[in-house]
Amino acid sequence: LGVLMRKFIAGVFLLFLTVESIAKELPDEWITVGQSELKIYWFSVYSAVLRTPDGRYSKGDMPLLLTLNYHRDIGRQALLDETEKELRRFITTNQVADLLMQINDIWPDVYEGDQLSFLLDNQGEGYFFFNGQFMGVLHKTYQSQAFVKIWLSTQSRYPTLAKKLRGEFNEDLSD
């Protein structure tokens, strides 16, 4: 019954997301705050760009657009596992589980050249896009804020990347 109920809830959730997808598009003319590249040893994982309507960012600012351009293939489960590990730094175990349940069915495998974007609106809702196409939404503000903290927080696992995204560094520094 538990698995059946989760599938039913996921189906209803996806139906709801389809209705909402008509309303959300990626902004074209926002200004870059900062950009950086995540490298693990000598492997480039992705390049990241943070944009806002005015090109400035302060902690907690909304709206914003975070875009990750992947430089290597990464399976969906590996993305989910890494996201779970990072989210645990910012929200409770139950909150992480709730967030992962929402993205579990919508996140794809990514391949070199793919792009994942996250649009955080003025109301604190977060919208996921894959290669420019709407994928799903986080309605709870704490979830959307925890998600962007992975890349923007002063407690980020990659502090230099976070500083560059926030526009605090322009030099080519690496973590």
Q: What percent of the chain has pLDDT over 70?
A: 83
pLDDT in tens, 53-82: 999 998 888 899 999 999 999 999 999 999
* Cα–Cα distance measured from residue 87 to residue 93, given in angstroms and rounded to the nearest whole number: 9
Q: Quick check: 154 and 162 in contact, CB under 8 A? A: yes
Look at residue 166 and tell me whether its pLDDT is greater than 70.
yes
CA dist 15 to 21, 68, 69, Å? 10, 26, 28
Predicted TM-score (pTM) of this structure: 0.82
Give the pLDDT of residue 28. 86
* Cα–Cα distance measured from residue 165 to residue 175, given in angstroms and rounded to the nearest whole number: 13
Q: Please enumerate in sequence order all residues whose Cβ is within 8 A of that of 48, keeping only pairs 6 or more positions apart, or say none.
A: 35, 36, 37, 38, 66, 67, 68, 69, 151, 161, 165
31-40: strand order across its sheet: 31-40, 43-52, 64-70, 115-120, 126-130, 133-138
Q: Which two tokens stand for residue 66?
A: 């975070």
Q: What is the mean pLDDT of residues 149-158?
A: 93
